[in-house]
Amino acid sequence: MKILYLDIDSLRPDHLGVYGYHRNTSPNIDRIAEKGVRFTNYYASDAPCAPSRNALFSSRFGIHTGSVNHGGLDADVRPIGKDRPFNLHHSPYQAWVDGLRVKGHHTTMISPFPGRHAKWNVLEGFLEVHDTNKQAGETAGDVSKEAIRWIKGRGTEKEDWFLYLNFWDPHTPYRTPEDYGNPFENDPAPDWLTDDIIAQHRESYGPMSATDLPARDQWPNLPEEITNVEDFKRWIDGYDTAIRHVDDHIGMLLDALDEEGMLEETMIIISADHGENQGELNVYGDHQTADHITSRIPLIMSGPDLKQGHVDEDFHYQIDVGPTLTELVEGELREKWDGTSFLPAITKGEEAGRPYLVVSQMAWSCQRGVRFDNWMMIRTYHDGLKDFPDLMLFDIEKDPHETTNLVDEKPEVVGKGMRLLDEWVAEQMASSDSPIDPMWNVIHEGGPFHTRGDYDKHVQRLRARDKHEAANRLESRHQKFMNFYNE
């Protein structure tokens, strides 16, 4: 079997045509989905980039590996300890890519990710690794050029292979070449974000908020701040154009497979490491939360012997895809994996989901979110200098952009969410190799890596802008962390 895995950084599903988006961002992705299985409730267990891909390739939660942050003590995977074997090939910890290699697949990665994040452990099982060598400054053309060369070379030599590609274009700062143009210049932006909501955001605060956007790079005309819906349109045009640019190059990959007579025999998987808040919770163009938008990612699987045109609405984690592929190639599932196979969903269209999900974020804030029924409940332990209350509850079916916090109106739903969260943490700690929940290490180190040491700067900035009420809120919420900040 040939497997092509397309990992498109920061791709949220609701900006793809096949998931109902009103802009034509993804014609090639859409035609792949029409012939395969599309998942609507597929979530990264741990966000953002490094914790997510660590979870993906190990098929283990961050609470078990210890890899939950982008720096500090809990950026790296914990050592196995005294029971570490000579190699992991036959151990309970074996990575599923290594299992594919054992079953005869030639495994290849084309991505700068391991070097960019110093996450070398994700390379376990890969026989070939090609770093595109621009530290995530790659455009889709850099990746597709290398991938087409591989497909037409090594890909034709091997009967069974697994090729993992990493596209970065939808990750800020948007880097689509300027001469590509703006295919959405005449298309309206999503209409959920109104001038009234933007005005509320501007009175609030936080990294990558309406008044503190990420750095701008190649894409022209990006606003310095979001002041109104016209600014938002310019901003979202950059994101959507990046998606369309990637989609064009996916079309080139499909053509290359077709030219070599391999398209019909190749399983194609399209997913992401995390989503991207585009105004939700006053975060623009980033992935700082354990909410529905950052944590929910697309999953499309198409290929020989898979169900065609099926939509799976069950709850799944991205750590479940490895065990699914392992079972598909008749490999051995591993004892330490937290992921579970959903093979019946893609081969027969049968239910194979989970009753609820818990998703985590520790690099930009310390949060855990519980996705159950039609709800997303988020508990904030450290707000990462954002204007977040301790608890948030959103009706995802009615309010997918998380505009109305229903904590006070739905205490019984909050109670169920808190019970599920407590149940999940207790189960994970009971089966953990370590007695320490890594989230508390992050908090005691001074907070999430990307906002660590920035507290004074943000308070002073708010006061300089005469936002004294917001500064007072931030100071009040962070009194409990003062001992860590002053160490």
Secondary element (H or E) of residue 271: strand 266-271
Q: What is the DSSP letter of 155?
A: H
**DSSP sequence for 403-462:** ----TTT-HHHHHHHHHHHHHHHHHHHHT-SSS--HHHHHHHTTS-GGGTT-HHHHHHHH
Would you state the pLDDT for residue 17? 98
Q: Average model confidence (pLDDT) for the chain? A: 96
Taking the C-alpha atoms of residue 485 and residue 480, their distance in angstroms, rounded to an integer, is 10
Residue boundaries of the structural domains of the chain: 2-355, 359-485
Give the chain's count of helices (H) and strands (E).
17, 15
Would you state the pLDDT for residue 219? 75
Would you state the pLDDT for residue 486? 67
Q: Collapsing DSSP states into helix, strand and coil, what is residue 51?
A: helix
Indicate if 359-485 has the same CATH topology as 2-355. Answer: no
CB of 95 within 8 A of CB of 58? yes
Taking the C-alpha atoms of residue 8 and residue 6, their distance in angstroms, rounded to an integer, is 6
Residue pLDDT, tens place only, 69-103: 999 999 999 999 998 999 999 899 999 999 999 99
Beta bridge partners of 3: 162, 267
The percent of residues in the chain predicted with pLDDT above 70, rounded, is 99
Q: Is 359-485 a CATH 3.30.70.260 domain?
A: no
Closest CA to 301 of 319, 323, 325: 325
Taking the CA atoms of 291, 360, 73 and 8 in sequence, report the sign of the dihedral they define. negative
Q: How open is the CA angle 386-189-270, to the nearest 5 degrees?
A: 80
pTM: 0.97
Residue by residue, pLDDT tens for the chain (487 residues) are 999 999 999 999 999 999 999 999 999 999 999 999 999 999 999 999 999 999 999 999 999 999 999 999 999 999 999 989 999 998 999 999 999 999 999 999 999 999 999 999 999 999 999 999 998 889 999 999 999 999 999 999 999 999 999 999 999 988 899 999 999 999 999 999 999 999 999 999 999 999 998 776 667 789 999 999 999 999 999 999 999 999 999 999 999 999 999 999 999 999 999 999 999 999 999 999 999 999 999 999 999 999 999 999 999 999 999 999 999 999 999 999 999 999 999 999 999 999 999 999 999 999 999 999 999 999 999 999 999 999 999 999 999 999 999 999 999 999 999 999 999 999 999 999 999 999 999 999 999 999 999 999 999 999 999 999 999 999 999 998 887 776 5
Taking the C-alpha atoms of residue 299 and residue 5, their distance in angstroms, rounded to an integer, is 10
Q: What is the CATH number of domain 2-355?
A: 3.40.720.10
Would you state the pLDDT for residue 279? 98
Q: Which two tokens stand for residue 72?
A: 């500090």
Closest CA to 88 of 121, 118, 64: 121
Tell me how far the alpha carbon of residue 459 is from its chain's centroid: 29
Would you state the pLDDT for residue 217? 62
Taking the CA atoms of 335, 361, 15 and 167 in sequence, report the sign of the dihedral they define. negative
Note the residue count of the chain: 487
Residue pLDDT, tens place only, 315-353: 999 999 999 999 999 999 999 999 999 999 999 999 999
